[in-house]
Chain A
Protein backbone atom coordinates (compact mmCIF):
# COMPACT_ATOMS: atom_id res chain seq x y z
CA UNK A 1 0.00 0.00 0.00
CA UNK A 2 2.87 2.30 -0.66
CA UNK A 3 2.09 5.77 -1.84
CA UNK A 4 -1.30 5.83 -0.18
CA UNK A 5 -2.15 8.48 2.32
CA UNK A 6 -3.32 7.62 5.79
CA UNK A 7 -6.84 8.73 4.89
CA UNK A 8 -6.89 6.47 1.86
CA UNK A 9 -5.85 3.46 3.91
CA UNK A 10 -8.54 4.30 6.39
CA UNK A 11 -11.09 4.45 3.60
CA UNK A 12 -10.02 1.14 2.19
CA UNK A 13 -10.34 -0.43 5.61
CA UNK A 14 -13.78 1.11 5.91
CA UNK A 15 -14.74 -0.34 2.52
CA UNK A 16 -13.61 -3.79 3.62
CA UNK A 17 -15.36 -3.56 6.93
CA UNK A 18 -18.57 -2.54 5.23
CA UNK A 19 -18.17 -5.40 2.78
CA UNK A 20 -17.75 -7.79 5.68
CA UNK A 21 -20.93 -6.50 7.32
CA UNK A 22 -22.82 -6.75 4.05
CA UNK A 23 -21.81 -10.33 3.40
CA UNK A 24 -22.23 -11.39 7.02
CA UNK A 25 -25.78 -12.76 6.72
CA UNK A 26 -24.67 -14.97 3.86
CA UNK A 27 -21.58 -16.08 5.76
CA UNK A 28 -23.75 -16.97 8.70
CA UNK A 29 -26.13 -18.92 6.49
CA UNK A 30 -23.17 -20.99 5.29
CA UNK A 31 -21.95 -21.50 8.84
CA UNK A 32 -25.29 -22.64 10.19
CA UNK A 33 -26.18 -24.76 7.18
CA UNK A 34 -23.03 -26.86 7.46
CA UNK A 35 -23.10 -27.31 11.22
CA UNK A 36 -25.42 -29.28 13.46
CA UNK A 37 -27.98 -27.15 15.23
CA UNK A 38 -26.21 -27.25 18.60
CA UNK A 39 -23.23 -25.55 16.94
CA UNK A 40 -25.29 -23.17 14.86
CA UNK A 41 -25.06 -20.26 17.26
CA UNK A 42 -21.65 -20.91 18.74
CA UNK A 43 -18.77 -20.07 16.50
CA UNK A 44 -16.41 -22.82 17.44
CA UNK A 45 -14.15 -23.26 14.44
CA UNK A 46 -13.50 -26.89 15.36
CA UNK A 47 -17.15 -27.86 15.26
CA UNK A 48 -17.70 -30.75 12.85
CA UNK A 49 -19.14 -30.04 9.43
CA UNK A 50 -22.24 -31.86 8.25
CA UNK A 51 -24.56 -32.12 5.28
CA UNK A 52 -27.35 -33.46 7.47
CA UNK A 53 -29.24 -30.13 7.44
CA UNK A 54 -29.62 -30.21 3.68
CA UNK A 55 -30.90 -33.76 3.78
CA UNK A 56 -33.30 -32.81 6.54
CA UNK A 57 -34.56 -29.70 4.74
CA UNK A 58 -35.07 -31.61 1.53
CA UNK A 59 -36.98 -34.35 3.30
CA UNK A 60 -39.18 -31.93 5.22
CA UNK A 61 -40.31 -29.81 2.30
CA UNK A 62 -40.35 -30.36 -1.47
CA UNK A 63 -37.74 -27.76 -2.32
CA UNK A 64 -37.01 -29.37 -5.66
CA UNK A 65 -40.63 -28.95 -6.62
CA UNK A 66 -40.61 -25.37 -5.39
CA UNK A 67 -37.47 -24.77 -7.42
CA UNK A 68 -39.15 -26.20 -10.49
CA UNK A 69 -42.17 -23.95 -9.94
CA UNK A 70 -39.95 -20.91 -9.63
CA UNK A 71 -38.11 -21.89 -12.77
CA UNK A 72 -41.35 -22.30 -14.73
CA UNK A 73 -42.68 -19.03 -13.37
CA UNK A 74 -39.59 -17.01 -14.14
CA UNK A 75 -39.19 -18.43 -17.65
CA UNK A 76 -42.81 -18.07 -18.61
CA UNK A 77 -42.99 -14.60 -17.18
CA UNK A 78 -39.84 -13.39 -18.89
CA UNK A 79 -40.96 -14.76 -22.25
CA UNK A 80 -44.32 -13.04 -21.93
CA UNK A 81 -42.77 -9.80 -20.72
CA UNK A 82 -40.38 -9.72 -23.66
CA UNK A 83 -43.06 -10.42 -26.25
CA UNK A 84 -45.61 -8.00 -24.83
CA UNK A 85 -42.95 -5.40 -24.12
CA UNK A 86 -41.34 -5.62 -27.55
CA UNK A 87 -44.64 -5.12 -29.35
CA UNK A 88 -45.67 -2.21 -27.18
CA UNK A 89 -42.23 -0.59 -27.30
CA UNK A 90 -42.20 -0.90 -31.08
CA UNK A 91 -45.55 0.85 -31.21
CA UNK A 92 -44.37 3.69 -29.00
CA UNK A 93 -40.98 4.06 -30.66
CA UNK A 94 -41.99 4.02 -34.31
CA UNK A 95 -45.68 4.73 -34.74
CA UNK A 96 -46.92 8.22 -34.00
CA UNK A 97 -50.40 6.85 -33.53
CA UNK A 98 -53.32 8.82 -32.20
CA UNK A 99 -53.32 8.93 -28.42
CA UNK A 100 -49.84 7.48 -28.13
CA UNK A 101 -48.77 10.08 -25.60
CA UNK A 102 -51.74 9.45 -23.35
CA UNK A 103 -51.28 5.72 -23.75
CA UNK A 104 -47.63 5.98 -22.83
CA UNK A 105 -48.48 7.99 -19.74
CA UNK A 106 -51.01 5.32 -18.79
CA UNK A 107 -48.35 2.66 -19.19
CA UNK A 108 -45.98 4.57 -16.95
CA UNK A 109 -48.60 4.58 -14.19
CA UNK A 110 -47.50 1.02 -13.48
CA UNK A 111 -44.04 2.24 -12.49
CA UNK A 112 -45.68 3.82 -9.45
CA UNK A 113 -48.65 1.56 -8.85
CA UNK A 114 -46.91 -1.77 -8.94
CA UNK A 115 -48.95 -5.00 -8.74
CA UNK A 116 -47.90 -5.50 -5.08
CA UNK A 117 -50.06 -2.57 -4.08
CA UNK A 118 -53.15 -3.97 -5.75
CA UNK A 119 -53.01 -7.48 -4.28
CA UNK A 120 -56.53 -7.28 -2.90
CA UNK A 121 -58.27 -6.35 -6.14
CA UNK A 122 -56.06 -8.50 -8.34
CA UNK A 123 -56.79 -11.48 -6.16
CA UNK A 124 -60.47 -10.95 -6.86
CA UNK A 125 -59.86 -10.68 -10.60
CA UNK A 126 -57.85 -13.89 -10.70
CA UNK A 127 -60.46 -15.67 -8.61
CA UNK A 128 -63.05 -14.68 -11.21
CA UNK A 129 -60.78 -15.96 -13.97
CA UNK A 130 -60.34 -19.22 -12.08
CA UNK A 131 -56.59 -18.69 -11.98
CA UNK A 132 -56.04 -18.70 -8.23
CA UNK A 133 -53.37 -21.21 -7.31
CA UNK A 134 -51.85 -21.47 -10.78
CA UNK A 135 -48.39 -20.48 -11.90
CA UNK A 136 -49.99 -18.51 -14.72
CA UNK A 137 -51.89 -16.60 -12.05
CA UNK A 138 -48.69 -15.63 -10.27
CA UNK A 139 -47.25 -14.28 -13.49
CA UNK A 140 -50.24 -12.61 -15.11
CA UNK A 141 -50.24 -9.23 -13.31
CA UNK A 142 -46.56 -8.79 -14.10
CA UNK A 143 -46.65 -9.76 -17.76
CA UNK A 144 -47.07 -6.25 -19.06
CA UNK A 145 -44.17 -4.45 -17.46
CA UNK A 146 -44.05 -0.69 -17.78
CA UNK A 147 -40.38 -0.83 -16.91
CA UNK A 148 -39.70 -3.27 -19.75
CA UNK A 149 -41.76 -1.27 -22.23
CA UNK A 150 -39.97 1.89 -21.22
CA UNK A 151 -36.49 0.36 -21.53
CA UNK A 152 -37.18 -1.21 -24.90
CA UNK A 153 -38.76 1.95 -26.23
CA UNK A 154 -35.61 3.85 -25.34
CA UNK A 155 -33.49 1.23 -27.04
CA UNK A 156 -35.65 1.19 -30.18
CA UNK A 157 -35.65 4.94 -30.37
CA UNK A 158 -31.88 5.02 -30.54
CA UNK A 159 -31.87 2.78 -33.64
CA UNK A 160 -31.01 4.91 -36.70
CA UNK A 161 -33.92 5.39 -39.09
CA UNK A 162 -31.68 4.58 -42.07
CA UNK A 163 -31.39 0.97 -40.98
CA UNK A 164 -35.14 0.70 -41.01
CA UNK A 165 -35.30 2.24 -44.48
CA UNK A 166 -32.70 -0.18 -45.77
CA UNK A 167 -34.64 -3.14 -44.43
CA UNK A 168 -37.83 -1.81 -45.98
CA UNK A 169 -36.11 -1.53 -49.36
CA UNK A 170 -35.12 -5.17 -49.04
CA UNK A 171 -38.80 -5.94 -48.75
CA UNK A 172 -39.20 -6.43 -45.03
CA UNK A 173 -42.67 -5.86 -43.60
CA UNK A 174 -43.33 -4.26 -40.28
CA UNK A 175 -42.53 -7.46 -38.46
CA UNK A 176 -39.50 -8.18 -40.54
CA UNK A 177 -38.15 -4.80 -39.58
CA UNK A 178 -38.85 -5.40 -35.92
CA UNK A 179 -37.24 -8.83 -35.91
CA UNK A 180 -34.28 -8.06 -38.19
CA UNK A 181 -33.43 -4.53 -37.16
CA UNK A 182 -34.78 -3.50 -33.81
CA UNK A 183 -34.62 -6.67 -31.77
CA UNK A 184 -31.01 -7.56 -32.66
CA UNK A 185 -29.82 -4.02 -32.01
CA UNK A 186 -31.52 -3.92 -28.63
CA UNK A 187 -29.83 -7.09 -27.42
CA UNK A 188 -27.99 -5.46 -24.50
CA UNK A 189 -31.30 -4.06 -23.29
CA UNK A 190 -32.92 -7.48 -23.50
CA UNK A 191 -30.10 -9.03 -21.52
CA UNK A 192 -30.18 -6.32 -18.91
CA UNK A 193 -33.93 -6.40 -18.55
CA UNK A 194 -33.93 -10.20 -18.49
CA UNK A 195 -31.50 -10.40 -15.60
CA UNK A 196 -33.34 -7.75 -13.64
CA UNK A 197 -36.67 -9.47 -14.24
CA UNK A 198 -35.34 -12.89 -13.27
CA UNK A 199 -33.79 -11.64 -10.05
CA UNK A 200 -36.91 -9.73 -9.18
CA UNK A 201 -39.33 -12.57 -9.72
CA UNK A 202 -37.09 -15.21 -8.24
CA UNK A 203 -37.23 -13.21 -5.04
CA UNK A 204 -40.82 -11.98 -5.16
CA UNK A 205 -42.86 -13.09 -2.16
CA UNK A 206 -46.02 -11.19 -1.27
CA UNK A 207 -48.13 -11.73 -4.38
CA UNK A 208 -47.14 -15.41 -4.82
CA UNK A 209 -47.94 -15.93 -1.13
CA UNK A 210 -51.40 -14.52 -1.67
CA UNK A 211 -52.23 -16.30 -4.88
CA UNK A 212 -50.79 -19.80 -4.33
CA UNK A 213 -52.24 -22.45 -2.07
CA UNK A 214 -50.58 -25.70 -2.94
CA UNK A 215 -47.21 -27.35 -3.32
CA UNK A 216 -47.70 -27.60 -7.08
CA UNK A 217 -47.65 -23.85 -7.52
CA UNK A 218 -45.64 -22.43 -4.62
CA UNK A 219 -42.42 -20.80 -5.72
CA UNK A 220 -39.27 -21.09 -3.62
CA UNK A 221 -39.81 -17.91 -1.67
CA UNK A 222 -43.27 -18.92 -0.52
CA UNK A 223 -42.15 -22.47 0.16
CA UNK A 224 -39.33 -21.14 2.25
CA UNK A 225 -41.60 -18.67 4.03
CA UNK A 226 -44.01 -21.44 4.89
CA UNK A 227 -41.26 -23.84 5.87
CA UNK A 228 -39.39 -21.41 8.05
CA UNK A 229 -42.28 -19.57 9.69
CA UNK A 230 -41.06 -18.77 13.20
CA UNK A 231 -44.13 -20.35 14.75
CA UNK A 232 -42.75 -23.77 14.06
CA UNK A 233 -39.76 -23.12 16.26
CA UNK A 234 -36.70 -21.69 14.66
CA UNK A 235 -33.90 -24.12 13.92
CA UNK A 236 -31.35 -21.97 12.14
CA UNK A 237 -29.33 -24.87 10.81
CA UNK A 238 -32.15 -26.36 8.80
CA UNK A 239 -33.53 -22.97 7.83
CA UNK A 240 -30.13 -21.86 6.60
CA UNK A 241 -29.75 -25.03 4.60
CA UNK A 242 -33.16 -24.42 3.05
CA UNK A 243 -32.25 -20.81 2.42
CA UNK A 244 -29.08 -21.77 0.62
CA UNK A 245 -30.95 -24.33 -1.45
CA UNK A 246 -33.42 -21.65 -2.49
CA UNK A 247 -30.93 -18.99 -3.41
CA UNK A 248 -28.28 -21.32 -4.83
CA UNK A 249 -29.24 -21.15 -8.52
CA UNK A 250 -29.39 -17.38 -8.57
CA UNK A 251 -26.36 -16.98 -6.31
CA UNK A 252 -24.22 -19.29 -8.42
CA UNK A 253 -25.32 -17.57 -11.61
CA UNK A 254 -24.49 -14.27 -9.97
CA UNK A 255 -21.03 -15.37 -8.90
CA UNK A 256 -20.29 -16.74 -12.36
CA UNK A 257 -21.65 -13.81 -14.31
CA UNK A 258 -21.04 -11.09 -11.77
CA UNK A 259 -20.01 -8.53 -14.36
CA UNK A 260 -23.08 -9.06 -16.52
CA UNK A 261 -25.35 -8.88 -13.50
CA UNK A 262 -23.90 -5.68 -12.18
CA UNK A 263 -23.75 -4.10 -15.63
CA UNK A 264 -27.29 -5.15 -16.40
CA UNK A 265 -28.64 -3.52 -13.28
CA UNK A 266 -26.55 -0.46 -14.06
CA UNK A 267 -27.73 -0.37 -17.63
CA UNK A 268 -31.35 -0.82 -16.71
CA UNK A 269 -31.11 1.98 -14.20
CA UNK A 270 -29.43 4.57 -16.36
CA UNK A 271 -31.78 4.41 -19.30
Chain B
Protein backbone atom coordinates (compact mmCIF):
# COMPACT_ATOMS: atom_id res chain seq x y z
CA UNK B 1 0.00 0.00 0.00
CA UNK B 2 1.28 3.43 -0.90
CA UNK B 3 0.57 6.32 1.38
CA UNK B 4 -0.54 9.53 -0.23
CA UNK B 5 1.47 12.71 0.14
CA UNK B 6 -1.09 13.88 2.65
CA UNK B 7 -0.82 10.77 4.76
CA UNK B 8 2.96 10.84 4.60
CA UNK B 9 3.04 14.09 6.53
CA UNK B 10 1.70 12.30 9.61
CA UNK B 11 4.44 9.72 9.34
CA UNK B 12 7.15 12.32 8.76
CA UNK B 13 5.87 14.55 11.52
CA UNK B 14 5.91 11.80 14.10
CA UNK B 15 9.23 10.40 12.93
CA UNK B 16 10.85 13.79 13.28
CA UNK B 17 9.33 14.19 16.69
CA UNK B 18 10.40 10.77 17.94
CA UNK B 19 13.77 11.61 19.55
CA UNK B 20 12.32 14.57 21.41
CA UNK B 21 9.23 12.60 22.34
CA UNK B 22 11.21 9.71 23.79
CA UNK B 23 13.37 12.05 25.86
CA UNK B 24 10.50 14.17 27.04
CA UNK B 25 8.34 11.23 27.97
CA UNK B 26 11.25 9.59 29.84
CA UNK B 27 12.38 12.63 31.77
CA UNK B 28 9.32 14.83 32.11
CA UNK B 29 6.03 13.01 31.65
CA UNK B 30 6.88 9.60 33.04
CA UNK B 31 8.61 10.96 36.18
CA UNK B 32 5.70 13.32 36.79
CA UNK B 33 3.30 10.39 36.83
CA UNK B 34 5.70 8.14 38.72
CA UNK B 35 6.12 10.80 41.39
CA UNK B 36 2.39 10.77 41.94
CA UNK B 37 2.30 6.98 42.19
CA UNK B 38 5.29 6.76 44.50
CA UNK B 39 3.71 9.19 46.89
CA UNK B 40 1.26 6.42 47.78
CA UNK B 41 3.93 3.91 48.77
CA UNK B 42 6.00 3.48 51.92
CA UNK B 43 9.75 3.79 52.21
CA UNK B 44 11.40 0.49 51.40
CA UNK B 45 14.59 -0.58 53.11
CA UNK B 46 16.68 -3.70 52.74
CA UNK B 47 14.71 -5.25 55.58
CA UNK B 48 11.22 -3.94 54.82
CA UNK B 49 10.01 -3.65 51.23
CA UNK B 50 7.91 -0.75 50.07
CA UNK B 51 4.13 -1.20 50.06
CA UNK B 52 0.96 0.69 49.17
CA UNK B 53 -0.15 2.92 52.04
CA UNK B 54 -2.78 5.17 50.52
CA UNK B 55 -2.65 8.73 51.77
CA UNK B 56 -0.33 8.03 54.72
CA UNK B 57 2.50 10.07 53.25
CA UNK B 58 0.15 12.98 52.75
CA UNK B 59 -1.06 12.61 56.31
CA UNK B 60 2.46 12.71 57.70
CA UNK B 61 3.19 15.65 55.45
CA UNK B 62 0.19 17.51 56.84
CA UNK B 63 1.49 16.78 60.34
CA UNK B 64 5.06 17.75 59.50
CA UNK B 65 5.68 21.25 60.89
CA UNK B 66 8.79 21.55 58.72
CA UNK B 67 6.69 21.09 55.59
CA UNK B 68 4.38 23.95 56.53
CA UNK B 69 7.32 26.10 57.53
CA UNK B 70 9.06 25.40 54.24
CA UNK B 71 5.91 26.05 52.23
CA UNK B 72 5.40 29.35 54.03
CA UNK B 73 9.03 30.29 53.47
CA UNK B 74 8.68 29.54 49.79
CA UNK B 75 5.67 31.80 49.47
CA UNK B 76 7.51 34.60 51.28
CA UNK B 77 10.52 33.94 49.11
CA UNK B 78 8.34 34.25 46.01
CA UNK B 79 6.68 37.38 47.34
CA UNK B 80 10.02 38.86 48.23
CA UNK B 81 11.85 38.07 45.00
CA UNK B 82 9.27 38.41 42.23
CA UNK B 83 7.97 42.00 42.58
CA UNK B 84 11.34 43.33 43.72
CA UNK B 85 13.35 41.86 40.90
CA UNK B 86 10.77 42.88 38.30
CA UNK B 87 10.58 46.46 39.62
CA UNK B 88 14.37 46.68 39.73
CA UNK B 89 14.64 45.22 36.25
CA UNK B 90 12.28 47.86 34.86
CA UNK B 91 14.17 50.61 36.71
CA UNK B 92 17.48 49.34 35.41
CA UNK B 93 16.20 49.13 31.85
CA UNK B 94 14.83 52.66 32.01
CA UNK B 95 18.09 53.94 33.50
CA UNK B 96 20.31 52.50 30.82
CA UNK B 97 17.97 52.98 27.88
CA UNK B 98 19.43 56.36 26.97
CA UNK B 99 22.70 58.06 26.32
CA UNK B 100 24.78 58.33 29.47
CA UNK B 101 28.46 58.14 30.31
CA UNK B 102 29.67 54.57 30.91
CA UNK B 103 26.47 53.05 29.64
CA UNK B 104 27.93 49.83 28.32
CA UNK B 105 29.81 49.26 31.57
CA UNK B 106 26.66 49.81 33.58
CA UNK B 107 24.73 47.39 31.40
CA UNK B 108 27.46 44.81 31.69
CA UNK B 109 27.53 45.19 35.47
CA UNK B 110 23.79 44.57 35.70
CA UNK B 111 23.99 41.54 33.50
CA UNK B 112 27.07 39.88 35.04
CA UNK B 113 25.25 37.93 37.79
CA UNK B 114 23.39 36.05 35.06
CA UNK B 115 26.52 34.29 33.90
CA UNK B 116 27.95 33.59 37.37
CA UNK B 117 26.97 30.30 39.00
CA UNK B 118 24.98 30.75 42.19
CA UNK B 119 27.05 28.18 44.01
CA UNK B 120 30.23 30.17 43.31
CA UNK B 121 28.94 33.58 44.30
CA UNK B 122 27.18 32.20 47.36
CA UNK B 123 30.54 31.95 49.10
CA UNK B 124 31.20 35.59 48.36
CA UNK B 125 27.79 36.52 49.70
CA UNK B 126 28.63 34.46 52.75
CA UNK B 127 31.48 36.89 53.28
CA UNK B 128 29.13 39.86 52.90
CA UNK B 129 26.78 38.45 55.53
CA UNK B 130 29.27 37.04 58.02
CA UNK B 131 28.87 38.80 61.36
CA UNK B 132 31.61 41.16 62.60
CA UNK B 133 34.18 40.38 59.90
CA UNK B 134 31.84 40.48 56.89
CA UNK B 135 31.55 43.36 54.46
CA UNK B 136 28.08 44.53 55.49
CA UNK B 137 29.01 44.66 59.15
CA UNK B 138 32.25 46.44 58.32
CA UNK B 139 30.45 49.11 56.34
CA UNK B 140 27.90 49.45 59.13
CA UNK B 141 30.83 49.76 61.54
CA UNK B 142 32.26 52.73 59.63
CA UNK B 143 29.00 54.51 60.24
CA UNK B 144 28.99 53.52 63.87
CA UNK B 145 26.31 50.84 63.68
CA UNK B 146 26.62 47.55 65.50
CA UNK B 147 27.00 44.39 63.43
CA UNK B 148 24.24 41.90 62.97
CA UNK B 149 24.16 38.12 62.69
CA UNK B 150 22.37 38.22 59.31
CA UNK B 151 22.28 34.52 58.56
CA UNK B 152 22.03 33.41 62.19
CA UNK B 153 18.88 35.32 62.99
CA UNK B 154 15.62 33.77 61.77
CA UNK B 155 14.11 37.17 61.12
CA UNK B 156 16.86 38.30 58.76
CA UNK B 157 17.99 35.08 57.11
CA UNK B 158 15.18 34.84 54.56
CA UNK B 159 15.47 38.50 53.54
CA UNK B 160 19.22 37.94 53.17
CA UNK B 161 18.57 35.02 50.82
CA UNK B 162 15.97 37.07 48.95
CA UNK B 163 18.39 39.94 48.40
CA UNK B 164 20.96 37.63 46.90
CA UNK B 165 18.33 36.12 44.60
CA UNK B 166 17.15 39.54 43.47
CA UNK B 167 20.74 40.43 42.72
CA UNK B 168 21.00 37.33 40.59
CA UNK B 169 17.75 37.84 38.68
CA UNK B 170 17.21 41.56 38.18
CA UNK B 171 19.91 42.02 35.54
CA UNK B 172 18.65 39.01 33.62
CA UNK B 173 15.12 40.37 33.52
CA UNK B 174 16.40 43.82 32.63
CA UNK B 175 17.53 42.51 29.27
CA UNK B 176 13.98 41.69 28.24
CA UNK B 177 12.70 45.08 29.28
CA UNK B 178 15.53 46.74 27.43
CA UNK B 179 14.57 44.85 24.30
CA UNK B 180 10.93 45.82 24.74
CA UNK B 181 11.78 49.48 25.35
CA UNK B 182 13.81 49.58 22.18
CA UNK B 183 10.75 48.47 20.26
CA UNK B 184 8.65 51.32 21.56
CA UNK B 185 8.71 54.25 19.14
CA UNK B 186 10.38 57.29 20.72
CA UNK B 187 7.65 59.51 19.25
CA UNK B 188 5.36 58.30 21.98
CA UNK B 189 7.53 59.88 24.63
CA UNK B 190 7.83 63.10 22.70
CA UNK B 191 4.11 63.33 22.18
CA UNK B 192 3.55 62.85 25.88
CA UNK B 193 6.07 65.53 26.70
CA UNK B 194 4.39 67.96 24.34
CA UNK B 195 1.11 67.35 26.04
CA UNK B 196 2.75 68.12 29.34
CA UNK B 197 2.39 64.68 30.90
CA UNK B 198 4.86 64.11 33.70
CA UNK B 199 7.20 61.15 33.48
CA UNK B 200 5.52 59.09 36.12
CA UNK B 201 2.17 59.55 34.41
CA UNK B 202 3.72 58.61 31.09
CA UNK B 203 5.27 55.50 32.59
CA UNK B 204 2.11 54.44 34.35
CA UNK B 205 -0.33 55.07 31.51
CA UNK B 206 1.77 54.41 28.42
CA UNK B 207 5.01 52.54 29.01
CA UNK B 208 3.94 50.06 31.63
CA UNK B 209 0.92 48.80 29.66
CA UNK B 210 3.10 48.48 26.57
CA UNK B 211 5.59 46.44 28.59
CA UNK B 212 2.87 44.11 29.82
CA UNK B 213 3.69 41.13 27.54
CA UNK B 214 7.31 41.35 28.68
CA UNK B 215 6.20 41.54 32.27
CA UNK B 216 4.14 38.42 31.82
CA UNK B 217 7.08 36.56 30.34
CA UNK B 218 9.39 37.75 33.10
CA UNK B 219 6.78 36.98 35.72
CA UNK B 220 6.54 33.35 34.65
CA UNK B 221 10.31 33.06 34.80
CA UNK B 222 10.45 34.72 38.18
CA UNK B 223 7.78 32.46 39.59
CA UNK B 224 9.54 29.36 38.29
CA UNK B 225 12.84 30.53 39.71
CA UNK B 226 11.32 31.13 43.09
CA UNK B 227 10.62 27.41 43.25
CA UNK B 228 13.72 25.99 41.66
CA UNK B 229 16.52 28.32 42.73
CA UNK B 230 18.02 26.71 45.82
CA UNK B 231 21.72 26.40 44.91
CA UNK B 232 22.79 29.16 47.29
CA UNK B 233 21.20 27.43 50.26
CA UNK B 234 23.82 24.70 50.05
CA UNK B 235 26.49 27.23 50.96
CA UNK B 236 24.76 29.99 52.86
CA UNK B 237 22.45 28.35 55.35
CA UNK B 238 21.59 24.74 54.57
CA UNK B 239 18.04 25.89 55.26
CA UNK B 240 18.81 26.96 58.81
CA UNK B 241 18.59 28.26 61.46
CA UNK B 242 15.73 25.97 62.41
CA UNK B 243 14.44 25.87 58.81
CA UNK B 244 14.01 29.62 58.73
CA UNK B 245 15.46 29.72 55.23
CA UNK B 246 14.52 26.25 54.04
CA UNK B 247 12.71 26.09 50.69
CA UNK B 248 10.55 23.35 49.19
CA UNK B 249 13.02 22.04 46.61
CA UNK B 250 15.84 22.00 49.15
CA UNK B 251 13.64 20.05 51.54
CA UNK B 252 12.84 17.62 48.74
CA UNK B 253 16.57 17.20 48.15
CA UNK B 254 17.17 16.63 51.86
CA UNK B 255 14.35 14.11 52.17
CA UNK B 256 15.41 12.14 49.14
CA UNK B 257 19.17 12.20 49.37
CA UNK B 258 19.93 12.86 53.04
CA UNK B 259 17.17 10.88 54.68
CA UNK B 260 16.72 8.40 51.82
CA UNK B 261 12.98 8.84 52.13
CA UNK B 262 12.05 8.77 48.46
CA UNK B 263 8.29 8.39 48.95
CA UNK B 264 8.18 11.43 51.20
CA UNK B 265 10.27 13.37 48.71
CA UNK B 266 7.80 12.27 46.03
CA UNK B 267 4.91 13.51 48.16
CA UNK B 268 6.61 16.88 48.55
CA UNK B 269 7.28 16.95 44.82
CA UNK B 270 3.58 16.40 44.15
CA UNK B 271 2.89 19.56 46.12
CA UNK B 272 5.46 21.43 44.07
CA UNK B 273 3.95 20.09 40.85
CA UNK B 274 0.52 21.10 42.07
CA UNK B 275 1.73 24.65 42.72
CA UNK B 276 3.23 24.84 39.25
CA UNK B 277 0.06 23.47 37.65
CA UNK B 278 -2.02 26.02 39.54
CA UNK B 279 0.25 28.74 38.26
CA UNK B 280 -0.01 27.51 34.70
CA UNK B 281 -3.79 27.59 34.98
CA UNK B 282 -3.81 31.09 36.38
CA UNK B 283 -1.58 32.18 33.57
CA UNK B 284 -3.79 30.56 30.94
CA UNK B 285 -7.19 31.57 32.13
CA UNK B 286 -6.64 34.82 33.96
CA UNK B 287 -3.59 36.64 32.70
CA UNK B 288 -3.83 35.60 29.06
CA UNK B 289 -7.34 36.97 28.81
CA UNK B 290 -6.37 40.31 30.19
CA UNK B 291 -3.18 40.87 28.29
CA UNK B 292 -2.58 40.75 24.61
CA UNK B 293 0.26 38.37 24.30
CA UNK B 294 1.35 36.98 21.03
The short answer to whether A and B are in direct contact, CB under 8 Å, is yes
Q: Which residues of A contact B (CB under 8 A)?
A: 1, 11-12, 14-16, 18-23, 25-26, 28-29, 32, 41, 83-85, 87-88, 90-92, 95-98, 100, 103, 106-107, 109-110, 112-125, 140-141, 143-144, 146, 149, 174, 199, 202-206, 209-210, 220-221, 224-225, 228-230, 234, 236, 239-240, 243, 246-247, 250-251, 254-255, 258, 261-262, 265-267, 269-270
B124 touches A240 (CB 8 A): yes
B234 touches A146 (CB 8 A): no
A4: nearest residue on chain B (CB-CB)? B100
Is B50 in the interface zone, CB < 8 Å from A?
A: no
B253 touches A18 (CB 8 A): no
A121: nearest residue on chain B (CB-CB)? B31
Q: A20-B109, A25-B121, A118-B31 are in contact. List 9 more A-B contacts (CB 8 A).
A: A15-B96, A25-B128, A91-B14, A92-B17, A106-B24, A106-B29, A144-B21, A205-B119, A251-B115
Cα A270 to Cα B153 with chains together (Å): 41
Contact partner of B95 (CB less than 8 A), chosen from A18, A25, A109, is A18
A120 touches B266 (CB 8 A): yes
Taking the closest CB of chain B, its distance from the CB of A148, in whole angstroms, is 9
Cα A221 to Cα B235 with chains together (Å): 12
B265: nearest residue on chain A (CB-CB)? A120
Neighbouring A residues of B11 by C-beta, 8 Å: 97
Contact partner of A125 (CB less than 8 A), chosen from B30, B32, B231, is B30
A116 touches B228 (CB 8 A): yes
A95 touches B13 (CB 8 A): yes
B103: nearest residue on chain A (CB-CB)? A15
A121 touches B109 (CB 8 A): no
Neighbouring B residues of A114 by C-beta, 8 Å: 224, 228
Neighbouring A residues of B175 by C-beta, 8 Å: 262, 265-266, 269
Cα A88 to Cα B54 with chains together (Å): 39
Neighbouring B residues of A16 by C-beta, 8 Å: 102, 106
Is B285 in the interface zone, CB < 8 Å from A?
A: no
Contact status of A15 and B95, CB under 8 A, knowing A141-B27, A203-B118: yes
A96: nearest residue on chain B (CB-CB)? B9
Contact status of A205 and B231, CB under 8 A, knowing A96-B9, A243-B124: yes
The main secondary structure of chain A at its interface with chain B is helix
Number of interface residues of B (CB under 8 A): 91
Cα A117 to Cα B34 with chains together (Å): 13
Contact status of A203 and B116, CB under 8 A, knowing A84-B23, A117-B269: yes
B23 touches A19 (CB 8 A): no
Is B172 in the interface zone, CB < 8 Å from A?
A: yes
B179 touches A269 (CB 8 A): yes
B125 touches A87 (CB 8 A): no
Cα A88 to Cα B11 with chains together (Å): 13
A23 touches B224 (CB 8 A): no
Neighbouring B residues of A28 by C-beta, 8 Å: 124, 127-128, 135
List 9 tightest A-B contacts by C-beta distance, closest first. Answer: A97-B13, A121-B31, A95-B13, A144-B23, A91-B16, A19-B109, A88-B20, A203-B117, A141-B27
Taking the closest CB of chain B, its distance from the CB of A31, in whole angstroms, is 10
Neighbouring A residues of B265 by C-beta, 8 Å: 120
**Chain B CB within 10 Å — which of A19, A41, A109, A270 has the most?**
A19
B31 touches A210 (CB 8 A): no
Is B65 in the interface zone, CB < 8 Å from A?
A: no
Contact with A along B23-45 (1 / 0, CB 8 A): 11011111110110010000000
Neighbouring A residues of B119 by C-beta, 8 Å: 205, 221, 224-225
Is B133 in the interface zone, CB < 8 Å from A?
A: yes
Is B203 in the interface zone, CB < 8 Å from A?
A: no
Cα A251 to Cα B3 with chains together (Å): 53
B110 touches A87 (CB 8 A): no
A118 touches B28 (CB 8 A): yes
B96: nearest residue on chain A (CB-CB)? A15
A224 touches B227 (CB 8 A): no
A236 touches B16 (CB 8 A): no
